[in-house]
Amino acid sequence: MTKFYSDNNLHNRTMTLTGQGQITTVPNIAVIRLGVQTTGENLVDIQSENAQIAQVIIQALQRMGISDIKTFQYSIDKLYDYENGRQIDRGYSVRNILEIRTTNLDMAGNIIDTAVNLGANVVDLISFDVANREYYYQQALNMAIMNAMQKAKSISINLGIPADPAPIRIVENSVTPVQPYFRQELAATTPIMPGNIKIEASVTVDFSF
């Protein structure tokens, strides 16, 4: 985006440019969300069944050295079917999703397989991140500012402006982080390939010239 503003005073001429910056890095954190979904007519029974399976999974993962485990979601839903316009009660569904974090990315596939073998029937999400995301974001932000300044300098040369444009206002634009992930139900997929993470930044800069 490029905008030019000018009035009769040459010192009040401005242009507005956007700058983009991107850092690609290797993730060092794996985030896995998996759990147990049980269904049945007796809510107490399926809650108990769900809790027992979840506890077995947690204990197994702890024995593997995984300590960062927390409940991400716990929900109870009423189930209904419709036949010939009639609502039929099908009981309840209990869903218990755990969030597991590890810095050992090589264990991601083994974590999933272990949980599934012990009764996990939902693998909801696998994502990858970096522990020092802010450090990389600052680098991307500096690149975005430099990108805008390079654009301003190029435009000033083409317009024959004798002095380099000076930045007078910088606005940081929010950018949603991009993380490689996949979502899958009722299956574990190994090996897990984390790929790379792109950390992006964007700015809008006003220059005077």
DSSP state of 107: G
Lowest mean pLDDT of 3-12, 24-33, 42-51, 153-162, name the range: 3-12
**Mean pLDDT score of the chain, rounded to an integer?**
86
Distance CA 146, CA 150 (A): 6
Give residue 10's pLDDT. 46
Give residue 153's pLDDT. 92
Q: For 104-129, what is the mean pLDDT?
A: 92
Give residue 83's pLDDT. 83
Distance CA 106, CA 49 (A): 31
As given in the structure block, the two tokens for residue 138 are 């600052």
User: Looking at the predicted structure, is the pLDDT value of residue 196 above 50?
Assistant: yes
Q: Are 46 and 85 in contact (CB under 8 A)?
A: no
Give residue 181's pLDDT. 46
For 65, 90, 108, 179, 191, the CA distances from 25, given in Å and listed in that order, are 26, 48, 19, 11, 20
As given in the structure block, the two tokens for residue 209 are 């010239």
Cis peptide leading into residue 27 (ω within 30°)? no
For 12, 18, 74, 89, 144, the CA distances from 168, given in Å and listed in that order, are 11, 14, 50, 65, 16
Phi-psi group of 23: left, alpha or beta (phi > 0 → left; psi -120 to 50 → alpha; rest → beta): beta
Counting residues of the chain whose pLDDT is more than 90, the rounded percentage is 63
